[in-house]
Every structure is written in structure tokens, then in C-alpha cells.
Structure 1
Amino acid sequence: MKRLLIVAHAPSPNTRRLAEAALEGARDGDVEGVEAVWKPPLEAGPEDVMACDGILLGTTENLGYMSGALKDFFDRTYYAVIDDKQGLPCALYIRAGHDGTGTRRGIESIVTGLRWNWVQDPLLCRGEWRDDFLEPVRELGLYLAAGLDAGIF
């Protein structure tokens, strides 16, 4: 059984709905060989990354950057996994009140340093909250889990 780790910051009811949508997609009934787990960034650590076969990151845009919680996750995890998890399939969604470019750039820089493998361009949920943000995030979770299940990633 493969493991998909979702590390998503969810400080509000709507961002929690995004994390739950990602988890729901990853647990789709058509995906049988992947266990999906969601952990908030302050609870996730190097041992979680070492035990996973793919990772989905989720964050809010905070002052033009990723959430402090996700940055903390990277600070605690980076050097502990850099040698052993190169090529880890990853994807990202950003809940951005503005344009999300600074958040995206910061995370892409860290992921490049880790040598993780982007399986899809980052998903930006920009502007005022809309319920139609949920479906693309759910599909992103499904896409990553199905790719792991099929051995594509």
C-alpha cells in the first residue's frame, strides 16, 4: 500500500473544507492501493515525509508568502529528508486572497532544493472565497492518489 501525505494548513472553516476536499479526492473509491493521510503542518514532520510515496501541500497566502505553519514544516523537515526523498511526487494548492505569486515562488524554491518532482502546476484558488474552489482541490487529491496507485509517479 502506498501512502499519500497531505500537509495542509487550514486555519479557517473554508480552508478546512479545502483540506477535506483534497483528502476526499485522494480516498476516492477507484483508488485502492493508496492510503491518504492529512496532517496539519505543525503536526507533520520528517518521519511522515519519510513514510510517504507522494505529498500534497496546501497553504494560505499570508502577507504574500506561505503560511508560517507550512514554513515551519519545511524548516523542521528539509535537512532530515533531503537525501532520501529526492524525486518525491508532489503537488500544491494555495488559497490566495490576492494573486498567490509570492507564495508559489517561495514553495517552488524550497521544493526545487528538495529535488521533489512536481506532478502538476500549483493550483491557485484566488480572490474571495467561492465554493467552486473545492472541486479542483478534490480533483488534485484524486489525481495524485490515482497516479501513485497506477505507478505513474
Structure 2
Amino acid sequence: MDAKKKLLVVAHAPSRNTLKLREAVEQGAKHEDIENVEVTVLPPLEAGPEDVLACDAIILGTTENLGYMSGALKDFFDRSYYPCLEKTQGLPFTFYIRAGLDGTGTHRAINSITTGLRWRLVQEPLLCHGEYKDEFEEQCRELGLYMAASLDAGLF
């Protein structure tokens, strides 16, 4: 039997609602039909380059803070960028943003950093925009499920 693929979720969850979103991503990724994917969920301040180097795909999650990604996710990128730069090219990834504004600054910042890393966006990013809605949780669950299912199926 082949070794399990590794899906890393690095998501900032400073509030009850953002924690629900991170948990929904994890629930989707750990769906009972996914057989060969091991899911690791870490807050950005606990994740580092060794976690990125050990994974086969990654989901990033952040709040929009002053039109930018959270400081915690930025710190994760600051610590991981150079150790991962030449070793993770083509890493499949996606991300979600919990945005009170429009999310464009956050989206642009993540795109800029991941373009520099030469990671490969494999699923359209999710923007949970405006007042909190319970439907955000289902969207995050689907995001996790689709990433894990694609990894499980060998699509990347």
C-alpha cells in the first residue's frame, strides 16, 4: 500500500467564527471517503518550513486585517519563504479568506508570495465576505473535501 499523502492546513483562527471555518476545512479534508490522505492542521505561528517541506498540498486560511492577510500568516510566510523557495516549486495549494471588506488586498498579497514560491493554485480561492453566514462553514468544508479528494485521487 502506498504511503498516505499529506495535506497541510495552515489557518489563522482568532475568533469563534474563524475557528468554525478552520474546523470545517478539517472536517471536509477528513471525510470518511478519503482513504489515503493524512491531514495536519496548524495555526500559522506553530507551522514552519519543515511542515511545508513534508506536505504534498496545502490549504491556507486567513482573516483580512486592514486589507491584508493576518500578521500570523505573514509571519509563517516570512519564516518559510527562503527555506521552501527552491524545494516546494509546484506545491498544490488553495486558500480561503474571512473578509470583512472585499478581500482584494489579502488575495493579492497571498498571490504575490505564492507566485514567488512558484506554488500551483489548484482550486479557486474561497472568499467568505461580509457579515458572517453559516454557509461559509459549508463552503470551507467543501474546500477541504475537494483538496483532499483530489490529492487522494492522485490529481496532484
Same fold (TM over 0.5): yes
1:42 to 42, 45, 50: 45
Structure 1 match to 2:128:
125
**Alignment map for 1:1-153 (pairs within 5 Å):** 1-153=4-156
Q: Number of residues paired by the alignment?
A: 153
Query: Matched residues in 2 for 1:106 and 1:62: separation?
Result: 12
TM normalised by structure 2 equals: 0.97
Q: Which runs of 5+ in 1 are unaligned?
A: none
SS in 2 for 1:95: strand
Query: Matched residues in 2 for 1:84 and 1:143: separation?
Result: 25
Q: Which runs of structure 1 show a deviation greater than 6 angstroms over 4 or more consecutive aligned residues?
A: none
Shift of 1:121: 1.7
Percent identity, please. Answer: 67
**For 1:37-80, what per-residue CA distance to the aligned partner results, in whole angstroms no more than 9, with x for missing partners?**
11000000000001100000000000000000000000000000
Query: Matched residues in 2 for 1:89 and 1:146: separation?
Result: 13
Q: Which amino acid aligns with 1:38?
A: V
TM normalised by structure 1 equals: 0.99
Q: Which runs of 5+ in 2 are unaligned?
A: none
Query: Matched residues in 1 for 2:21 and 2:62: separation?
Result: 10
SS in 2 for 1:4: strand
SS in 1 for 2:33: coil
How big is the alpha-carbon RMSD for the aligned residues of Structure 1 and Structure 2? Answer: 0.5
Shift of 1:120: 1.3
SS in 2 for 1:98: coil
